[in-house]
A and B are shown apart, each in its own frame.
Chain A
Amino acid sequence: AQSVTQPDIHITVSEGASLELRCNYSYGATPYLFWYVQSPGQGLQLLLKYFSGDTLVQGIKGFEAEFKRSQSSFNLRKPSVHWSDAAEYFCAVGATNFGNEKLTFGTGTRLTIIP
């Protein structure tokens, strides 16, 4: 069965500083990996996805993530955070790229931005 671990429950970063959110996955085959962002009381917005090719993927809002098969990781990064980036971030793994198969979500990392 597939699973996702986000080791950091809460991270606080100063505005303008760099950010890295960790994600480790467990899946028996080639994983399809996603990062979503959720603002309070809102649904989820897709930031980026990986399913093949270049292991460094670019997403919206200046985010990027790197797939490292040897470490079973898909960490999310941003070189300089903005106050509007404060939200909950979820890493997810799926069996196929966007297919009807189930997405398994991590428990999320809450990001707080301080001035």
Chain B
Amino acid sequence: GAVVSQHPSWVICKSGTSVKIECRSLDFQATTMFWYRQFPKQSLMLMATSNEGSKATYEQGVEKDKFLINHASLTLSTLTVTSAHPEDSSFYICSARDTRRGANSPLHFGNGTRLTVT
């Protein structure tokens, strides 16, 4: 079945540094990927929609300059948390849909990335 791979699965970084998270669709192409953030014991909140070859669409309240999204190919989207601070510590999850299967194809979720900023 379709698989979405996220890397790394967990990362610890120092405050002020930047961290890049990768989301790959392993056996399908995805013109659109979604990035979510999940705080402990809370639901997933959509941060942005990543569009291949164009700018990402950010949800209200999400800082574009802080959470940089790049979707340079049909199988890879990256989320870079710039100048990370402890309040950015969270669980980040991506999802993608097989573009060739059309609107009826389900979203496939990655296993998430646990970010801890010290």
- A residues near B (Cβ < 8 Å) are 9, 36, 41-46, 49, 90, 96-100, 102-103, 105-108, 110
Contact = CB atoms under 8 A, between A and B. Distances in A.
Given A43-B110, A45-B109, 12 more contacts: A41-B114, A42-B112, A43-B6, A43-B93, A43-B109, A43-B112, A90-B44, A97-B103, A97-B104, A99-B103, A102-B46, A108-B43
Main secondary structure of the interface of A (DSSP, over half): loop
A98 B32 contact: no
Contacts of B56: none
Per CB-CB distance, the 9 closest pairs between chain A and chain B, nearest first, are: A43-B109, A44-B109, A105-B43, A43-B111, A107-B43, A99-B103, A105-B44, A43-B110, A42-B111
B111 A49 contact: no
A103 B46 contact: yes
Interface string B23-52: 000000000101000000111111001000
Interface size class of B (residues with CB under 8 A): 20 to 34
Contacts of B114: 41
Contacts of A108: 41-43
Nearest to A91: B43
Contacts of A105: 43-45
B4 A107 contact: no
A100 B49 contact: yes
A46 B46 contact: no
